[in-house]
Structure 1
Amino acid sequence: MKKIMTIIGIMIASLVGIIVLFFGSVYVIDKVSLKKESQKIVGYGEKVRVVGQKINVTMIGEGKETIVLLPGFMTPAPVIDFTQLTAELKNDYRVVLVEPFGYGLSDDTSRERSIENITTELHDALEQLEISQYTLMGHSIFGIYSLEYINKYRDEVTAFIGLDSSVPAQGGAEDTQSASVKVLKDFGIYRLLAKISPETIITPPLSTELVEQNRLLALKNIGTEATLNEAVSMSANFEKAAKLTYPVDLPVQFILASESLTDTPGWLELHQDIVKDVKQSKIDVLEGGHYLHHTQAPKIAELMTEFSTTK
């Protein structure tokens, strides 16, 4: 019996050793790979210094009207994510893509991701570039931040366009992922998951080169200090936004995803309610998922142009 127990003990110890060795290897491979991959990331845009750190801004197109385009939560490479949409818009607009701290090529930050800080940083970046009249266009979570931004800088914003954008009343803003994302980041497990299932990284259908750049930036930016804090701050930011409304004289257009109407009860009605007092508003629903700009860029551009002619 004693011999059997000894053998079992050896087997358990060996198994634990194998597990520790495996995850230790995953960790080391990730850290070494990140260092090598940092040299492969191709730069784009220009850096603007805000509160002592650098925010990356990219401008595409030379149209008379300016659109400031803003990403959804934890989008690793906003400029790449919006490639198809900017290609559709660049002939008629000047598109300004601002990557918040912790996104794309912008610096990471320990500064609190409150709705006040996020919107002030965005405005500071635009102000330095002397961009003072523009349509604000945001995907997903930037629907929440847009309410604070527009009410703070109403004289600069000429319209708001929400791409399947969040609204305060939707609920579900509690932080349920920052702890797990941190583990995936710290131990290199996210790289392993992305290797096993490449679809883990949300990627638009682009060239091989851009898909690879998106992958490199996703591995670099998963679980940045900024995005982890943004997740923690999300509930408070939703609560603050719930006290705000879109100005009655601001043109507002929502372009919603059909799948979101199915996945989120009342998705259409929530958007109808938030613009019920707005003089000029329009809601369109397009076939597809939350990342409509990956699949419906031409139609989005068409709907935007139609709406802008009625402003």
Structure 2
Amino acid sequence: MKKVMKWSLILIPVIVVAAAVFVVGGSYLEHRDAVAEEKEHYPAPGELVEVHDDGHTMHVYAEGEGEETVIFLAGFGTPSPVYDFQALTNELKDDYRTVIVERFGYGWSDVTDHDRDIRTVVDETRTALAQAGEEGPFVIAGHSMAGIEALHWSQTYPDEVTGMIGLDPLTPEYYEEKGESPSLSGAVTFLARSGLMRQQPEVFDENFDAMAKGLLSDDDAEVARTLFLRRVQTTNMGNEADKLTDNVATVLDAEIPDIPFYAAIASENQDGKPFIQSLAEETGGASEVFEGDHYIHLNQPETIADEIRIWISDME
């Protein structure tokens, strides 16, 4: 009896581990095959362009015509910038050229090992736009962390920027005083890479803000879900988080650009509000507080689009 118990204590953990490996391994293989099918079934709607001549491509999605071209840059960790900005660009594309550039590791853009320092990131975006035939000067509209990108772009290439628009943006002064670098969850990364997240559809429904707020059609939700499943906490996103402190320092080391900064501030962002308001005032721009959370462009796309029209008119 003692021998049976002894072997049971050894075999049960082995069986449990083997079963777990079997389940995870099977899930990973299914996930890999599903991703390949989804890429073929749902190709990028915009242009895929090379920026480093290494075979990796970035996605540039443009709509509309107009005298002004507005470049939309997503906040940290947004799996699908195209669908994240859709509600807002739908309101603006009849008046302006709207262009969404997906950084490496986001949306239909490839995952790469290129450095995520702010100079590289901004130059990749500029090169992608040039390769896609988009001509400046531009209005740069950045959500959250992309506010830092807009500032660096304006500091380094002021002739290319007509004005900046922050959508509840991160400002360097706020980060320096109160901010913390975003962190990635190892558990979430494991669920995403292993494909186990596919067994939990509510994760997408509840955590992709455009979906959670009921802004996607059934067809768009189907596509956005596939992007979410392969673009949650990518390597590029992790590297962006690691580089944020250095990137903020780069922006702080340069002079504030002589280009107006306008901002839509979420009412829930009480800590960041004074820093955003100060930056807008210092650059000759303006700011407005809107009721809602950090993804403010999804809370009030129509109202913010109206405000953006006023701001762009002020830039002229």
Normalised TM-score (structure 1): 0.88
Superposed, which structure 2 residues align to 1:97-108 within 5 Å? 97-108=100-111
| SS across alignment from 1:92 | coil
> Does the 8 A contact of 2:170 with 2:272 survive in 1?
no
More helix by percentage: 2
Q: Give the aligned partner of residue 195 of structure 2.
A: 188
Cα distance between partner residues in 2 of 1:245 and 1:274: 12
| SS across alignment from 1:76 | coil
Deviation at 1:28, TM superposition (A): 2.7
Cα distance between partner residues in 2 of 1:59 and 1:291: 21
Q: Structure 1 stretches of 5 or more lacking a match?
A: none
Superposed, which structure 2 residues align to 1:77-226 within 5 Å? 77-128=80-131, 129-171=133-175, 172-174=179-181, 176-177=183-184, 179=186, 182-194=189-201, 198-204=205-211, 205-226=215-236
> Does the 8 A contact of 1:70 with 1:97 survive in 2?
yes
> Does the 8 A contact of 2:69 with 2:136 survive in 1?
no
Q: Give the aligned partner of residue 37 of structure 2.
A: 36
Cα distance between partner residues in 2 of 1:196 and 1:145: 29
| SS across alignment from 2:216 | coil
Q: Once structures 1 and 2 are overlaid, which stretch shifts more, 188-197 or 42-51?
A: 188-197
Deviation at 1:70, TM superposition (A): 1.1
Q: Once structures 1 and 2 are overlaid, which stretch shifts more, 50-59 or 133-142?
A: 50-59
Amino acid at match of 1:259: E
Task: Describe the superposition over 1:145-201 as per-residue Cα deviations: whole angstroms up to 9, x where unpaired.
Answer: 112111111012111000011112333443521755543343234434445663133
Task: Describe the superposition over 1:105-144 as per-residue Cα deviations: whole angstroms up to 9, x where unpaired.
Answer: 2232211011000011111223342512121111111111
Q: Once structures 1 and 2 are overlaid, which stretch shifts more, 13-22 or 80-89?
A: 13-22
> Does the 8 A contact of 2:57 with 2:110 survive in 1?
yes
**Among 254, 271, 274, which residue is 2:276 paired with?**
271
| SS across alignment from 1:48 | strand
Amino acid at match of 1:84: A
> Does the 8 A contact of 2:197 with 2:203 survive in 1?
no
Q: Give the aligned partner of residue 260 of structure 2.
A: 251
Task: Describe the superposition over 1:186-237 as per-residue Cα deviations: whole angstroms up to 9, x where unpaired.
Answer: 3234434445663133434211010111111111223433223222222221
Cα distance between partner residues in 1 of 2:239 and 2:245: 11
Cα distance between partner residues in 2 of 1:118 and 1:11: 50
Amino acid at match of 1:191: R
**Among 238, 247, 251, which residue is 1:228 paired with?**
238
| SS across alignment from 2:35 | helix
Q: Structure 2 stretches of 5 or more lacking a match?
A: none
Q: Give the aligned partner of residue 52 of structure 2.
A: 51
Cα distance between partner residues in 2 of 1:168 and 1:179: 27
Amino acid at match of 1:118: V
> Does the 8 A contact of 1:147 with 1:245 survive in 2?
no
Q: Once structures 1 and 2 are overlaid, which stretch shifts more, 299-308 or 46-55?
A: 46-55
Deviation at 1:66, TM superposition (A): 1.4
Cα distance between partner residues in 2 of 1:209 and 1:218: 15
Aligned length: 305
Task: Describe the superposition over 1:229-266 as per-residue Cα deviations: whole angstroms up to 9, x where unpaired.
Answer: 2222222212222324532x4221110111222xxxx2
Inter-CA distance 190–243: structure 2 relative to 1 (3 Å threshold): farther
Amino acid at match of 1:252: F
Task: Describe the superposition over 1:53-88 as per-residue Cα deviations: whole angstroms up to 9, x where unpaired.
Answer: 422212211111111111112222212211111111
Matched, 1:63 2:66: yes
Deviation at 1:93, TM superposition (A): 0.9
Cα distance between partner residues in 1 of 2:11 and 2:128: 60
Aligned-CA RMSD value: 2.3
Q: Once structures 1 and 2 are overlaid, which stretch shifts more, 213-222 or 238-247?
A: 238-247
| SS across alignment from 1:256 | strand
| SS across alignment from 1:38 | helix
> Does the 8 A contact of 1:126 with 1:132 survive in 2?
no
